[in-house]
Amino acid sequence: MSRFYLTTPIYYVNDVPHAGHAYTTIATDVLARWYRLQGEEVFFLTGTDEHGTKIAQAAAARNRAPQEYCDEIAAQFQQAWKDLRVSNDSFIRTTAPAHARAVQSFLKALWEKGVIYKARYQGKYCVQCERFYAEDELIGGLCPDHRIPPEVQSEDNYFFRLSDFRETLLAAITDENHPQHFKIYPLARRNEVIGKLKQDVNDLSISRATLSWGIPLPWDRSQTTYVWVDALLNYLTAIGYPDDPRHVEEWWPAQLHLMAKDILWFHAVIWPALLMATEMKLPKKIFVHGFFTVNGQKMSKSMGNVIRPADLIKEFGVDGTRYLLLSAFPFGADGDFNQDLMKTAYNAALANDLGNLISRSFTMVENFCGAKVPPPDDKNRVTSRVLEELKKVRDHLERLQFHYALAAIIAAVERLNGFIEEQAPWKLAKTAPAECQSVLRELLACIKMMSFYLWPFMPDTAHAVWKQLGQTDDLEAGAKRYFVHQGPVDLAAGQVTQKDAPLFPRK
Ligand SMILES: [Zn+2]
C-alpha cells in the first residue's frame, strides 16, 4: 500500500464558502475517493486560513472578537463540505494553538539556519491581498485583483533569503533528475513560474510590525508572522509537525497540492524555498486550475452574483452540483458556468441518460423478473463496450481531466441505454423470456460495475444504485476488491432489487 497525501488550499475566512471554494474542494475529493478505491492510503486535507489584517477588520466590522468570527466562518466551511459529501480526513484551522506552536517551531528552525535577517521595508501593500506589490505588478497603480490603491507601508521586518534559492528552485522545476524535482501543471503555469524565476527574485518579508491578529515570531514577539508563511505551513502542521516526526515521515512529502492560479507563486516558489531552507522534502506535484466566470461575468459581491454551494445544492442536488462543476470545462483552463447550460447539461446527462437508465432498468427487472436478479450466464453483448469507456476514467483522473472522466462515464451510460433500445426487453419478455432475463442480468451487472466508477464523483448516486441492486455489503469495499484485486462484478442470482424514486428529476 502506498500513501497519497493531497490538499486543497486553506480558505481565507474573510468570506463564507462560494462556488470557487467548492470547485477546488470537490475536485480534490474526487481524487481522494478515487485513490482510496485503488487501495492507496489517502490523507485528504482542507481547512481555513484565519489570520491577518483583513480578518481583524472583518470581525471588527461585525462587532465580533476575531476568534469568535473565525469560529463562525470555519463552521460554515465545515458544513458546506459535509453537505457536498467532501471526505476530507482532517480540517486544519490556523488559529488552532497546535498550528501556532508548530509555525513558531518552523520559524525558529529557519532562524537557526541563518536565512533570516532584519531590514527596513517600504512598499506598496494591498490590505485586501495581504501582500506587497512590486511597481510593475500594479495595474494603473492599483492592485491587479482588487482595483484599489495599495497603501505605502514602511516598517522594520524580518526577511527570508528567498533570492538564495532561486537557482536551486529553477533546477528543481526544470530538471527531472534533480533530487528535489517537483512538477507543476498545467505546463503553461509551469512555464510562467520558470519565466519569473529566470528574472530577479526579491527576498520575502516574513513578518509584520503592525499586525496583531497572527502568530508572534518566536525571537521577536513585537513582530507577527506574515499570513502566507503561516498559511503555507498548514500542510506540515496538519500532519503533526514537529511533535510527531514519525507521522510526518509517513505522510510527507505531499503528493499533490491543488489550487487556483492566483496563488501559484506562493506554492511553486515560496513554499518549496521554505522547505529547502529547513532541509525538508518538497511536495511532488502542484496542479493549478483556472478562474471561472458565472454567466460570462466575474463572480463578485458587488455584482451580487456570488454563487454559494447551498444555492447549487438547492437547484441541482448534491451529486448534480458535483457533476456540473467538474464537467463544464477542462480543469486547469479558465471557463464559464452558464446557468442555462448547466440546466441543459443536468437534463441531458443526469435526468435523461443516467437517471433514466437506472429507473427503466429497475422497472424492467421488477416487471419481467419479479424484482429479482436473474441467474448468471456468460453472455457479453455490451459489457466489453461499457468497460472500454469506464476504463478511460483512470487515465483521465491521472491527468486531473475530470470532465473527460465524467464524459467517459456518460458514454458508458449511453451504451447501456442503446443496448436496452436494441434488445427491447419488453418485447423479449413476451417472445423469449429466457433471453429477456439474460439481457437484464447483463444490464444489472454493468450497472453495478458502473457504480464503482460513479462513487468518487457522485457518492450518493452510487449508493442509491447499490441499494436498488439490493446490495447489503459495503460499496467501497466492493469497489476496492474490483479495482485492486481485479475481482469480478458478482451479483447473486435471486437477489431482490428495490426500485426507487428517480435519481435526477428533470428541471
Ligand atoms: Zn488586492
The Å distance, Cα 134 to ligand 1 centre, comes to: 12
Q: Tell me how far CA of residue 489 lies from CA of 33, 34, 206, 492, in angstroms.
A: 20, 18, 55, 10
Catalytic residue numbers, as ranges: 18, 21, 126, 129, 143, 146, 298, 301
Q: Which domains does the chain have, with CATH numbers?
A: 339-484 (1.10.730.10)
The Å distance, Cα 140 to ligand 1 centre, comes to: 13
The Å distance, Cα 127 to ligand 1 centre, comes to: 7
Query: Nearest 5°: CA angle at 314, between 309 and 317?
Result: 90
The Å distance, Cα 141 to ligand 1 centre, comes to: 12
Residue 52's CB is within 10 A of a number of other CB atoms, namely 27
One digit per residue, the tens of pLDDT, for the chain of length 507 reads 689 999 999 999 998 999 999 999 999 999 999 999 999 999 999 999 999 988 998 999 999 999 999 999 999 999 999 999 999 999 999 999 999 999 999 999 999 999 999 999 888 988 887 777 878 889 999 998 889 999 998 889 999 999 999 999 999 999 999 999 999 999 999 999 999 999 989 999 999 887 779 999 999 999 999 999 999 999 999 999 999 999 999 999 999 999 999 999 999 999 999 999 999 999 999 999 999 999 999 988 888 899 999 999 999 999 999 999 999 999 999 999 999 999 999 999 999 999 999 999 999 999 999 999 999 998 999 999 999 999 999 999 999 999 999 999 999 999 999 999 999 999 999 999 999 999 999 999 999 999 999 999 999 999 999 999 999 999 999 999 999 988 888 899 999 999 999 999 999
Query: Nearest 5°: CA angle at 234, between 283 and 30?
Result: 65
What residues form DSSP beta bridges with 113?
A: none
pTM of the predicted structure, to 2 decimals: 0.95
The Å distance, Cα 464 to ligand 1 centre, comes to: 45
Give the residue from 402, 496, 392, 482 showing the smallest Cα distance to 444.
Answer: 496
In angstroms, the CA 44 to CA 41 distance is 10
Place of cell 427487472: 365
Q: Could you tell me if 91 and 78 are in contact, meaning their C-beta atoms sit under 8 angstroms apart?
A: yes
The Å distance, Cα 383 to ligand 1 centre, comes to: 54
Q: Could you tell me if 439 and 425 are in contact, meaning their C-beta atoms sit under 8 angstroms apart?
A: yes
DSSP 294-361: ETTEE--TTTT-PPPHHHHHHHHHHHHHHHHHHHSS-BTB-EEE-HHHHHHHIIIIIIIIIIHHHHHH
The Å distance, Cα 223 to ligand 1 centre, comes to: 22
In angstroms, the CA 352 to CA 359 distance is 10
Residue type at 204 in one-letter notation: L
Residue type at 50 in one-letter notation: E
In angstroms, the CA 11 to CA 215 distance is 18
